[in-house]
Amino acid sequence: MIRRTLAIAVKELLQLRRDWRIAFTLIGMPMVLVLIYGYALSFDVQHVRLAVVDQDGSRASREAADAFVESGYFDLVRNPHDLRGLDAMFGDGRVQAALVVPSGYGRDLAARRPTMLQFVLDGSDSQTATTVLAYATQIVAAVSPLVRVDGRPGPAVPAPLVWYNPDLASSRFLVPGLVAFILMITSVIATALAVVREKERGTMESLRATPLVAIELLVGKTLPYLLMGSAAAAGSLALAWGLFDVPIRGSFFWLAVVTELYLAGGLGWGILISTLADTQQVAFQVSLLSSMLPTMLLSGFIFPISSMPVALQWITHLVPARYFLVALRAIILKGAGPEHWWLQAVGLVIYGGIVLALATVRTVRSL
Amino acid sequence: MTERVVVAHELSRTFGAFVAVDRVSFEVERGEVFGFLGSNGAGKTTTIRMLCGLLTPSSGRGEVLGLDIARQSAAIKQRIGYMSQRFSLYTDLTVDENLRFWGGTYGLSGQRLAERADWAVLAAGLGERRRTLVRELPSGFRQRLALGCALLHEPPIVFLDEPTGGVDPEARRRFWDLIDELAGAGTTVFVTTHYMDEAERCHRVALMHAGRLLALDSVPSLKRLFAPGSVVEVRCSEPAAAGRILDGEPAVREAALFGSVLHVVLADAAGVATVRDRLGSAGIGAAVVTPIEPSLEDVFIHVIASAEGAPSPGVRAGNPGTLGADSRLPTLDVRTVGRGQ
């Protein structure tokens, strides 16, 4: 039993060693992708083109405008005297945000009366707008507790205290998701192709005539890829830590446990695909689509699950990255122990269990 | 008392409406080289896959080494060797790595695996090339290595499904020397082929056509289906026309084209004179008619014609070599020419 399983695993590793392209795709590719996307993917907004309409002309109003520029997020590009023309500037994108200081602002401030600044935002890119509004609120709060940004009721400005990611760098949020995303794609594709390749070359027929049973074939085929996937995960997280300041605060042991559970599910899915596809081309396309889209859209990697329609939220429970991401972020960003994310681990175990059981049943049938 | 290692009884397999194997019955004895001869699609591979436990029979039953093929396929797989029609080695692994892998799938290890691998290397004649990638080996060596891989666990019976496809004649001869050696040592060899010369080397041959087993006997016995002197060869300038003329002649049972030569099966040896007269009066001059030793292919064509129930099935072309890789070799591809004319 173990001997036959081992024979398959060793053979698989020998083939991987001989075909360096596959080995590179498995280990190198995830790291390269983390590198590329890690730099490209960012929600952080900088160099927002700002227009300041100073209708007050006081020292206080100039201080308010300076506070925006000095924050580093805004570039002052226009200084119109009134509100006319602002619309056109927004229209062609010369300006993304405008700060309007109403007349009497300086006087109100000096008299310690609550006062207002108007902040106009281009809302067509809601993601950026939300981020910029958050910056603006923070800046204004720093100028004076008496000032509030127009549109926000009440004079009280909350003093934000952001834990785990104090400068709200989106890389800390996105890069772990990226790691999950890339690991899923490579593990599914690698295993699916590894099995379908045997079908295409005709060696599967000979394997079927040997006393090999499904579970031996399955374990023997997945073990080497689990190993490769683990190496890719370690490399990707090391890159994230080294280049994108993604800390690893939690236990390496639990990180490894959760990662292996996640990989096992992905490999199982790959095997399942391989029992249905007859050519490498079909296997590749099905693997890519079925791993990439759900992991990108329905896992909370980019779009928060809590803001999805309820029906879609249910569907996310079928996406293993959903569980892995919560656990991964909890472990590496918060240093959280299993008592905080055990439910996610259970989700991964259930997913992996079902997928591997289905894969076994399908392989038994085809053997 | 001989031991029956394979028993098939009314074995059938259908794929939807298509009957791939139709109530086939036969027995194979220990140490026999048992040949399955037929063209592509005759049902040879389907039969072999059922016997190896790779395919469940639709009806009928079969036993291999006393084990039921439908219910005990796992036990059968432990004890048989199988070499599939498709290439069964990993070309991106070396000779040694392949041997270790295939040995491992049968649970071999350590000393036993090493000894068996040495044997396979020797049998394949690969002494100095153990570390060569299989893709760099000539096809003849690959085929013998594949056979070696199927025999690592020393099975008492080995099933070879068209083992010599795409291999040159010299390598085929060496492959068959290896088969003779195995049979001499007591291993039963069950082999399918569409090469006539290979079928001639089998102890017994089963002729398969369109899913049915039409004849089963030793090669000399199969050839005795014809009365002595009743098979003649006709060499002339227009063999196809000659065939059409002879077709319908009461003394002629069959006329088949073998390239530019016409093989004619007569009701008896006296028919030779009739053939000469008939061709002479039809104006096909200079026809040379000589009695010949019937080939296995004559037998095959005759058996198919009889099975299809046509007393005079017209001119058939035993067309050599359209299926095999080497067109100079006689292979089976029976097609009918001029039927219904």
Give per-residue pLDDT as tens, B12-55: 999 999 999 999 999 999 999 999 998 888 899 999 999 999 99
Considering only the beta carbons, identify the residue of B77, B84, B106 that sits closest to A202. B84
Residue in chain A closest to B151 (alpha carbons) equals: A210
ipTM of the complex: 0.78
Considering only the beta carbons, identify the residue of A15, A201, A212 that sits closest to B105. A212
Q: Contact at 8 Å (CB) between B152 and B108?
A: yes
CB interface of A with B, residues 305-334, below 8 Å: none
CA distance linking residue B32 with residue B187, whole number of Å: 8
Reply yes or no on whether the pLDDT at A255 is more than 90. Answer: yes
Q: Do A209 and B74 touch (CB under 8 A)?
A: no
CB interface of B with A, residues 22-81, below 8 Å: 52-54, 74, 77-78, 80
Task: Give the per-residue pLDDT at A43.
Answer: 67
Angle CA A231–A226–A232, to nearest 5: 25
Q: Contact at 8 Å (CB) between A323 and A347?
A: yes
Domain extent listing, chain B: 4-222, 225-336
Reply yes or no on whether the pLDDT at A243 is more than 70. Answer: yes
Considering only the beta carbons, identify the residue of B52, B88, B90 that sits closest to A11. B90
Angle, helix A338-366 to helix A214-244, in steps of 10 degrees: 140
Interface-testing mutation among B48, B88, B105, B134, with chain A (most A C-beta atoms within 10 A): B105
Domain extent listing, chain A: 2-41+169-366, 48-149
- Regions in chain B scoring below 70 on pLDDT: 1-2, 285, 309-341
Reply yes or no on whether the pLDDT at A344 is more than 80. Answer: yes
- Nearest CA to B307 among B207, B227, B226, B229? B207
Q: Do A210 and B100 touch (CB under 8 A)?
A: no
Token digits for A270? Answer: 């790959």
Most confident of A40-44, A60-64, A161-165: A60-64
CA distance linking residue B169 with residue A147, whole number of Å: 97
- Average pLDDT of chain A is 85
> Which range among A139-143, A284-288, A324-328, B70-74 shows the weakest confidence by mean pLDDT?
A139-143
Interface-testing mutation among B45, B52, B86, B101, with chain A (most A C-beta atoms within 10 A): B101
Residue in chain A closest to B88 (alpha carbons) equals: A203
Q: Is A66 on the interface with B (CB under 8 A)?
A: no
Residues of A in contact with B96 (CB under 8 A): none
Residues A183-199: what's their mean pLDDT? 89
Report domain A48-149's class: alpha beta
Helix or strand holding residue B196 (H, E): helix B196-200
Contacts of B126 (CB under 8 A, 6+ apart): B95, B132, B137, B141, B144, B145
In terms of pTM, does the model score above 0.80?
no
Token digits for A352? Answer: 């992996």
Residue in chain B closest to A6 (alpha carbons) equals: B104
DSSP secondary structure, A280-346, as one string: HHHHHHHHHHHHHHHHHHSSSSSS-GGGS-HHHHHHGGG-HHHHHHHHHHIIIII---HHHHHHHHH
Distance from CA of B199 to the nearest CA of A (A): 24
Considering only the beta carbons, identify the residue of B53, B90, B103 that sits closest to A15. B90
Residues A280-294: what's their mean pLDDT? 92
Task: Give the per-residue pLDDT at B282.
Answer: 78
Residue in chain B closest to A202 (alpha carbons) equals: B86
Q: Contact at 8 Å (CB) between B302 and B166?
A: no
Residue in chain B closest to A201 (alpha carbons) equals: B87
Q: Is B136 on the interface with A (CB under 8 A)?
A: no
Single-letter amino acid, residue B211: G
- Residue pairs spanning A and B at CB distance below 8 A: 76
Task: Give the per-residue pLDDT at A149.
Answer: 59
- Nearest CA to B191 among B183, B100, B142? B183
Segment A112-171, tens digit of pLDDT: 887 888 888 887 777 778 888 888 888 877 776 666 555 444 444 444 555 666 665 677
Task: Give the per-residue pLDDT at B190.
Answer: 96
Band of residue A71 on the pLDDT scale cut at 50, 70, 90: confident
Task: Give the per-residue pLDDT at A123.
Answer: 78
Task: Give the per-residue pLDDT at A147.
Answer: 63
Q: For the range A216-220, what are the long-range contacts, defined as Cβ-Cβ under 8 Å and sequence gap of 24 or more?
A: A216/A1, A216/A4, A216/A5, A216/A8, A217/A8, A217/A363, A217/A367, A218/A271, A218/A356, A218/A359, A218/A360, A218/A363, A219/A5, A219/A8, A219/A9, A220/A4, A220/A5, A220/A6, A220/A7, A220/A8, A220/A9, A220/A11, A220/A12
Task: Give the per-residue pLDDT at A165.
Answer: 63
Neighbouring C-beta atoms of residue A358, cutoff 10 Å: 15
CB interface of A with B, residues 190-209, below 8 Å: 201-203, 205-209
Task: Give the per-residue pLDDT at B150.
Answer: 93
Residues A65-88: what's their mean pLDDT? 83
Q: Is B104 on the interface with A (CB under 8 A)?
A: yes
Task: Give the per-residue pLDDT at A158.
Answer: 46
Neighbouring C-beta atoms of residue A143, cutoff 10 Å: 16
CA distance linking residue B168 with residue B326, whole number of Å: 7
Q: Is A278 on the interface with B (CB under 8 A)?
A: no
Residues in chain A: 367
Report the C-alpha dihedral over residues B100, B101, B105, B106, rounded to 10 degrees: -20
Neighbouring-strand partners of residue B14: B19
Q: Do B84 and A211 touch (CB under 8 A)?
A: no
Residue in chain A closest to B108 (alpha carbons) equals: A3
- Domain B4-222 is classified in which CATH homologous superfamily? P-loop containing nucleotide triphosphate hydrolases (3.40.50.300)
What is chain B's percent helix, strand, coil content, to nearest 5? 35, 30, 40
DSSP secondary structure, B26-87, as one string: EEEETT-EEEEE--TTSSHHHHHHHHTTSS--SEEEEEETTEETTT-HHHHHHHEEEE-SS-
Task: Give the per-residue pLDDT at B339.
Answer: 35
